[in-house]
Amino acid sequence: MKFNYFIELAYLLASILFIFGLKGLSNPKTARNGMNMAAAGMLVAVVGTLFNAEIVSYELIIIGLIVGSLIGAAMSIWMPMTAMPQRTALSHAFGALAASLVGISEYYRYAVDLQEPISSFKMTALGFEVLFGSLTVTGSLLAFAKLQEMMRGTPITYKGQNVLNVSLFILAAVIFIYLIFDPTQSTLFYVMVGLSFLFGILLVLPIGAADMPVVMALMNSYAGLASAATGFAIGNNVLIIAGTLDGFSGFILSILMCKAMNRSITNVLFGAFGSPVEDTSTAVQGVMREVSAEDVAMQLAYARQVVFVPGYGMATAQAQHAVRELGESLEHRGVIVKYAIHPVAGRMPGHMNVLLAEANVPYSALYELEQINPEMGATDVCVVIGANDVVNPDARDNPTSPIAGMPIIEVDKSHSVIVLKRGKGKGFSGIENPLFFKQNTGMLYGDAKASLTKLSQAVLQS
């Protein structure tokens, strides 16, 4: 009993640290401190939990801590920053798996082992926990597989897919509601668990890797809500607070991602987004104008302002350090250098911010879409690095385009645009980009990292 006050005090302190940590993540300048506070909060919560009198085996807990710490350390040390989306997907899967296992074991302990009655409130928490936790596990693992290119990243669809997905979810929900009134039906409980695992796969299957920012935010929300339900199921206050913070912040983030991609939240929730679309845009007239690295270097060296627009191509080429080196070379010549970040550039929210931060690009040089677009008319050169849809003017000008209405970085309004691209294809989305055919656009083909390094050397020699 004497430790209960210490445990609750530890949980209160941990919750406060979580809240301030989340607040810190709202700004790049305070993000590192925010992460440190959140990590400290988790440490306090773990230490407080170790004083719980109901702990059966400290030996198993210590083994779990060692194994988990080794896995986490290995992922942090040896994982390249370009693989951050995959690492985040795995984190969502692990967190949701923990919640699901707690829910399953708690149900088994009461309904099967002890054969004690389960209250409607507890059964509601357990069902919610397992339902959302299970679909998050398989959904996040499938997202990881797509991002890691262990399976094709393009949408996988079939006839009647949405009907099947919704039907499965409704069936699982009906079983969930039935179990609230009759929790003794253990067979139905495990059927619900299986349906939830299956639904997670079917939910992410039709979503292309280009739409992963929305998926990542949504999985984050589901994992948080499952953790909050775990807290209600086992009477743990810190899990309730942390899970609620994670769940609702992830849900808000998914709404923001939808807005940035011009998608509705209902479209996301029912899994009917990311399916392939027919490019109904008018055929683009003209040819792509190829330029040499020497010509581009000359433009950059004598420009007044240069804006870099990174996309997923920068991540795949691991070119963030080369971008920073070129930026520094230009800054030494007195050129104003800025970096334009689209909310959904990359494969997870903040993907480009993370990569540029790793390359020590100062936060003050990063500009969001709303900040940089008014400056495009006064920009001499825009350098687009592996981005397609986020700079496609058809989203603004062509109402028949599949991406019509999506906010873009308006690089076409700058005096000159240089696009770094591996080849002449349409890119992942399969949508033609008229920007590539405009008179003020030059195409620099090849590996982005090699091209940027060559440009940096040419700028220094000019």
Q: Which residues have CB under 8 Å from 279's CB, separation 6+?
A: 401, 402, 430, 431, 432
Ramachandran quadrant class, 79 (left: phi over 0; alpha: psi -120 to 50; beta: rest)? beta
Separation between Cα atoms, residue 351 and residue 212, nearest integer Å? 11
**CA distances in angstroms from 164 to 178, 203, 205, 319, listed in the order given:** 21, 10, 13, 42
Could you say which DSSP state residue 390 is in? G
Q: Are 237 and 11 in contact (CB under 8 A)?
A: yes
Tokens of residue 237, six digits: 């206050």
Q: Is the dihedral of CA 71, 76, 78, 82 positive or negative?
A: positive
DSSP structure string for 196-211: HHHHHHHHHTT--GGG
Separation between Cα atoms, residue 410 and residue 414, nearest integer Å? 8
- The catalytic residue among 211, 246, 389, 412 is 389
Instruction: Give the helix ranges, DSSP H, for 117-211.
Output: 120-147, 161-181, 186-204
Place of tokens 């909060």: 41
The yes-or-no answer on residue 412 being catalytic is no
How many CB atoms within 10 Å of residue 101? 15
Which residues are paired to 419 by β-bridges? 384, 443
Sheet with strand 416-421: strands edge to edge: 366-368, 336-341, 305-310, 381-385, 416-421, 441-445
H helix count then E strand count, the chain: 17, 6
List active site positions.
Answer: 389
